[in-house]
Structure 1
Amino acid sequence: MGLRYAWSSWRVLLLVFVAEFAFHGFTYGEKASNYNFIQEATSAPIVSFYDYIIIGGGTAGCLLAATLSRNATVLVLEREGSPYVNKTKIRIENTLSTLTDTSPDSFSEAFISEDGVVNIRPRVLGGGTVINAGFYSRAETFFLKQNGLDEALAKDSYEWVERKLVSKPVVLQWQSAVKDGLLEVGVLPYNGFTYDHIIGTKIGGSIFDENGNRHTAADLLEYADPNSIKVYLHAVVQKITFTTKVGLRPKAQGVIFYDAQGVRHMALLKNGSMSEIVSSAGAIGSPQLLLLSGIGPALQLEALGIKVVLNQAIVGQGMADNPLNGLIIPSPVPVELSLVTSVGITKFGYDIEFASGFDFSALSIAQSPANFNQILHALIILLIES
């Protein structure tokens, strides 16, 4: 038994971090949106047992769950709902309105960092792939080598993801002009259409298909064995429970979670040497859960009245925001709707990305001039976190 922390990011390219576990040539034909294993947590038994418990059904959680379910029983606990309940919200033309909608039942949740930075995080099965700009790129080769990952296995895993989610985008007038402009200012060479993350200008992949439908990490659950997996929605995990013995490191044994009606449930690991709890609740959610479970800086936990299970000084520390700059150019004539397609990858370590055709006046938050900064920041998030 054990506990692992899976770093989940909004960037689709980071699927490779957990994709090395992916199996290949194993698929089920039924669509994930119709799977009966995706249920409300109110239907969960009070006590249940699984080989793997995954906290967070985001980009990393869905992929890992689909893979592990081939040879083990898997439970996924997602704190909010499903993107399939309203598929119009995840169409390309609704991207900005979905991102900026932070009402209680929306897919986006606003927060402000301790530094005063306004930001948005996803709260939906599929995670950031439900609200981002949909740009797809593989990781750089040196990253794989630096982290000791098998390049051949990573390539197979990329293709496993790409078969379900990624399309070659249709490049129209605006994105063609972007490509030409990047080349003109010296973002060279031109690499054409490629999933590879290499210096120069390229046309990348998109998780929007040719009809404008978004494909999210939740679609990867189509790979799962429906007889071995359970996904509970609106399941809020309170804490991870541990067994402790003097002289031995604590071992994770289960989780306590609550459904939408406030009923308490417990999911426990089976007695297997490979049984694990995986926290993939995001860069904010996972450290928060560890702290609530008693893993973190002892002095901080004691001050909050939380029993210390393991004194771990780095939990919840070292968070940082990506530096970014955004520019919005109003057009006197209608411009085609497009998200990130043509991209400039510079040798200086930053990327140049563009979107077009969004109507800010259609957003409810645009009615007040005081909200302009919120709109601007939302669009920048959309581009940078793609």
Structure 2
Amino acid sequence: MFSHSVRAALLLSALSSSSLGALLQSADDAADQLTSTHYDYIIVGAGAAGGALANRLTEDGSTKVLLIEAGSSDYNNTNIEVPWLAPVLTHSQFDWNYTTTPQEGLDNRSIAYARGKVLGGSTSINYMIYTRAAQDDWNRFASVTGDDGWNWSNILSYAKKLEAFQNSPNVQNATSKFVANIHGTNGPVGAGLPQVSLPIDQIGLNAQQELSSEFKYNQDVNSGNMIGFSWTPFAIQDGARSNSARDYIQPALGRSNLDVLVNTQVTKVLQTGTDGNTPIVNAVQFTSGPNEKLYNLTANKEVILSAGSIGTPQILLLSGIGPADQAKSLGIQSIVDLPDVGQNMQDHPLLTTNFQVSSNDTLDNLSLNTTFQAEQLALWTNNRTGDFTLGACNQWAWQRLADDDPIFKNVSDPSAGPTSPHFQLIFSDLFIAFSGGAFPSGHFLTLISNLYTPTTRGSLTLNSTDPFTYPIINPGLLNDENGFDIYTMRQALKAGRRFLAANAWKDWIISEFGESANATSDADIDAYIRKNALVVNHVSGTVAMGKSGDSSKGAGALNPDLSVKGVKGLRVVDASAFPHIPAAHTMVPTYILAERAADLIKNSNSTASGSKSGSGNGAFTPSATLVSVFAPLVALVALLL
């Protein structure tokens, strides 16, 4: 992988070439260029999937692609680049700042939903955690869709293809922390292990060995079997965040067949004709903002929605692709009745629990000691080293309930299989309280316990026909009728407490801190969870894949090749396509989905003539001068230097 300075030099060199694609800052400014160009594919959303598709589809120099992003092009903003600053991105200008309905399972609290609104999408604002998901999760996708191409043995090649997994010399004892031969080293996405060792690392290893019958050691969480205590890989390379903007989109901007349009929101997809009785939907409507001019643009081959598990179903519903009764109630003309659009919403509930520690050598010093903070920021700024290169944790455990757990007497195991975890435990070397509150004095360890096999299913429905009015987002967190979700959250907290009660921690941990310390009975623990739980922001499943052809309720809105059922010319490639939420952090599974989707799209359109015109709605003038077209790229170079 190139260093930041080398990447900048390459981009500067590229500016002298007339073969560059365009980075266009608004629909109004770029109107001429857009509608005088015949695009084969229009991709909506520049997150994990959209960025990957834009890169892979433009590998064929004869294929012209437009990538549209609602957010800005500012993915080299320092807050985005510095791994340690990830928390400040929530509720920033790079966040859609969605909010759920009051959640009955969370004491009727509405919670914030963070989704990225910038080139790179949520890969630009998330916590960069790098997990492929378990082999059982992928095998279940294959079973649900009837397509063996989604099974682990097939997608592993895509997982390796996308990786540039770095065995950094700064990682102590790296060969014991991952398995080299299961990773790729030449792909676009930079990844690796934490480069800064923490005092709690050895304590965690000692605790694992002490409790090895419950917490087995797993050398590599990305092996296909996630179960056990392991080291945490991140999408961090050369000390900086890796995201789809840096790793997929930026390199492809050197190609003349990719245009990227930012600060532009797609409001709906449009029917352009019929093939027999089947609607052809291969056009988009977009605008620079509320009350601004609307533009239409038709793709020669396909429109691909990669706007995420909230944005994609909203666009479909606004377009009349979804439940016909919902469209009728809002006066939207129904193109196709697809009852599963917006349904099947899933996410991973999260809980933080704090423990006061005796040491003053914790990452709390980055908040408590401004001099130390400045020193660490200088290390990052000067050579991309130091504590600011860290993610949320160096170690974690992915665990399952016991096979004979009493809950399974009444509830079928919702996991994909024995390699797939029911819950996750993260051990963070500082005070974290995502729910807010004053930062206490002292030093802490935070246990983050997350449910990864939720049985709850929620929904997304339209609030209005106005595309700038957010939809009604109801993930139904911890509101399952069978009680599995709250039970497993409780068992996760208990398991985390057992791990932190090991003798290895006795000189480090003083006591559990705050209101959780008084939650000892099952009823008290459940009350604590419902009062304080949030979400990992892995919303998935709202336009799910199913078996080919069946459009009935519960059968999925997509075919196994990710084409939208009942129409032609339209595909969905993002986390909304997962029929079950992966029991993992969802960024890498979405990259994998997109990598395979790129091959599916290329193969399905390999014989297409591409002769259709990409016409718009008229009233356009010639494009801007070369200086104005290249200005965003010049600014990008300045940020890279």
Which category describes the TM-score, using the shorter chain as reference length?
A: 0.7 to 0.9
2:97 match: secondary structure: strand
Cα distance, 1:249 vs. partner? 1.2
Question: Which residue of the partner structure matches residue 429 of structure 2?
Answer: 356
2:349 match: secondary structure: coil
1:91 to 82, 95, 105: 82
Structure 1 Cα separation of the partners of residues 120 and 311 of structure 2: 15
Q: Which moved more, 1:185-194 or 1:118-127?
A: 185-194
Please report the TM-score for the alignment, with normalisation by the length of structure 1. Answer: 0.77
CA contact (8 A) 1:80 1:234 kept: yes
Question: Which residue of the partner structure matches residue 109 of structure 1?
Answer: 97
CA contact (8 A) 2:348 2:535 kept: no
Question: Which residue of the partner structure matches residue 500 of structure 2?
Answer: none
2:161 corresponds to 1:160: yes
2:66 match: secondary structure: strand
1:302 to 328, 349, 368: 328
CA contact (8 A) 2:265 2:288 kept: yes
Please report the TM-score for the alignment, with normalisation by the length of structure 2. Answer: 0.48
> In angstroms, what is the RMSD of aligned CA positions?
3.6
Rate the CA distance shift 1:181–1:143 in 2: closer, same or farther, 3 A. Answer: same
1:200 to 193, 216, 228: 228
Question: Which residue of the partner structure matches residue 54 of structure 2?
Answer: 65
Question: Which residue of the partner structure matches residue 190 of structure 1?
Answer: 217
Q: Which moved more, 1:234-243 or 1:188-197?
A: 188-197
Question: Which residue of the partner structure matches residue 399 of structure 2?
Answer: 346
CA deviation vs aligned residue, 1:328-375 (integer Å, no higher than 9, x gap) = 335563513651331212133222123333688xx9x75699xxx9xx
Aligned identity (percent) is 24
1:231 to 260, 270, 275: 260
Q: After the TM superposition, which residues 116-155 of structure 1 pair with which residues of structure 2 at under 5 Å, given as runs?
A: 116-118=109-111, 119-146=113-140, 147=142, 148-149=148-149, 151=152, 154-155=155-156
CA deviation vs aligned residue, 1:190-210 (integer Å, no higher than 9, x gap) = 123553242111113211235
Question: Which residue of the partner structure matches residue 216 of structure 1?
Answer: 243
Q: After the TM superposition, which residues 18-33 of structure 1 pair with which residues of structure 2 at under 5 Å, given as runs?
A: 30=10
Rate the CA distance shift 1:57–1:384 in 2: closer, same or farther, 3 A. Answer: closer
Asked which structure has the greater RCO (Cα within 8 Å, sep 6+), the reply is 1
Question: Which residue of the partner structure matches residue 18 of structure 1?
Answer: none
CA deviation vs aligned residue, 1:174-202 (integer Å, no higher than 9, x gap) = 34433443443444431235532421111
Structure 2 Cα separation of the partners of residues 352 and 367 of structure 1: 24
5+ long unaligned stretches in structure 2: 1-8, 104-108, 143-147, 165-188, 364-386, 402-421, 441-528, 539-583, 588-641
2:31 corresponds to 1:45: yes
CA contact (8 A) 2:350 2:534 kept: no
2:428 match: secondary structure: coil
1:121 match: secondary structure: coil
2:362 corresponds to 1:335: yes
CA contact (8 A) 1:41 1:235 kept: yes
Rate the CA distance shift 1:190–1:240 in 2: closer, same or farther, 3 A. Answer: same
Higher radius of gyration, 1 or 2: 2
Tell me the amino acid that sits aligned with residue 269 of structure 1.
A
Question: Which residue of the partner structure matches residue 293 of structure 1?
Answer: 319
Cα distance, 1:313 vs. partner? 1.3
1:237 match: secondary structure: strand
Structure 2 Cα separation of the partners of residues 222 and 234 of structure 1: 17
CA contact (8 A) 1:62 1:217 kept: yes
